[in-house]
Amino acid sequence: MSWSNLVSIVAKLRSPEGCPWDRAQTHASLKRYLLEEAYEFLETIDAADPQAMKDELGDVLLQVVLHAQIAAENGQFTIDDVITNLSEKLVRRHPHVFAEATAETPEEVLVNWEAIKKQEKAGAERRSILDGVPRELPALMRAEKIQKKAARVGFDWDHTHEVVEKVKEEFKELEEAAAAGSQDALEEELGDLLFAVVNLSRFLKVDPEFALQKATAKFIERFHLLEGYADEENLDLNAMDLDGLNELWDRAKDQLRRNPQA
């Protein structure tokens, strides 16, 4: 199978003689699938499963070809236009490879990359330096990108300890909102606390999205062990009190500390 075969298959699926589901799709209706497929691919990376990576990467590619086919049907652009545009952009943004510029470290590459992007967007209609961050990004990732954009013009903390104090301040305000019993205030203050924590993660050079993903995966692993203990002892989780559940939880934590591969 070649690239042209794939494009032809997708075009057939979208044709009057093709698949009713594929024909019904639009750019908007496919948005959720592109996100889902991208996240499923990320899971295969974490699992270090090349076969699954190959499968999920194909699903991501399908979304790209579908969007290009829809655009072609609307007379906007084709998949060849997408490839040409990408190729030109890669060459343009890597002058240290394809031209005379120099960049010896990844950091220098990023500096050049951002400068070139700024030149490319010079004619674009942007009213704010914060423009260009997709609203559809996961909330933690979007907050981090917004903070980085603001930091480029100097609107940022100077030291990590200042950010730590801000986190403490926001947590205190959350406690006050909880005591006041206002749900709206709770939501606002919790948002402020999360935003401050993202700032802290940025200063600590920790990716907040991946950090939370890892914490969630750790919780799932421990909870699975907890469920296993309950099954072994014929315990009904729904009938147990919190002390009993915490005892199983502590056993799970201890087991994973002794044997991380359990």
**For the segment 185-207, what is each residue's pLDDT rounded down to a tens digit?**
999 999 999 999 999 999 999 99
Say what the pLDDT of residue 261 is: 59
**For the segment 129-171, what is each residue's pLDDT rounded down to a tens digit?**
888 888 888 899 999 999 999 998 899 999 999 999 999 999 9
Which domains, and CATH codes, for the chain?
A: 3-92 (1.10.287.1080), 139-206 (1.10.287.1080), 209-258 (no CATH)
Say what the pLDDT of residue 104 is: 85
Say what the pLDDT of residue 253 is: 93
Half-sphere exposure of 255 (CA within 13 A, CB side): 17
Place of tokens 């908007």: 28
Helices marked H in the chain: 3-14, 20-24, 31-47, 50-73, 79-92, 95-98, 106-120, 139-151, 160-180, 183-203, 208-232, 242-258
- With a cut of 70, which residues of the chain have pLDDT below it? 122-126, 260-262
